[in-house]
Amino acid sequence: MGLVDLEALRHQQAAAFASGSGGSAAAAAQSALPSVAQRGLMKALTLVAPACEDQAARDQYWARTLKPLVDGFAAVVGRPDLKKMCHDDGVRTAVESLLESFIGK
């Protein structure tokens, strides 16, 4: 799975939460990687960014790597029906996956 594929999964997750389709699409997108692999991948992607000497390229890299995570998280916590949604297994799985990505250890 390449960086472009991972980025597409992140955008799919953010779109699923924003559209209110809940966890099924987001959970399917996130289930592509086990949590250990997802943490390792995000850690690697985070460690690579300082190697970009060009500030514009680094900013674009951060936007493509972290923005989908932030958008997905904001879409989840910003929903007025979060208390009702959090009982859905797909939503819970997607939230756990987002948190795993933020941890990145």
Q: Which residues contact 43 (CB under 8 A, 6 or more apart)?
A: 104, 105
**Residue 65, pLDDT score:** 85
Which residue do the tokens 């949604």 mark?
85
Tell me what the pLDDT averaged over the chain comes to. 73
Q: Give the DSSP H or E segment for 1.
A: none
Q: Is the model's pLDDT at 94 over the cut of 50?
A: yes
CB 97 within 8 A of CB 38: yes
Phi, psi of 104, deg, nearest 5: 55, 40
Residue, of 76 and 28, whose pLDDT is higher: 76
Which residue do the tokens 């933020």 mark?
102
Residue, of 22 and 12, whose pLDDT is higher: 12
Mean pLDDT of 11-32: 49
Confidence of residue 31 (pLDDT cuts 50, 70, 90): low
Which residue do the tokens 């953010």 mark?
14
Span 52-74, pLDDT tens digits: 888 998 899 888 888 888 888 88
Cα–Cα nearest to 20, from 103, 78, 96: 78
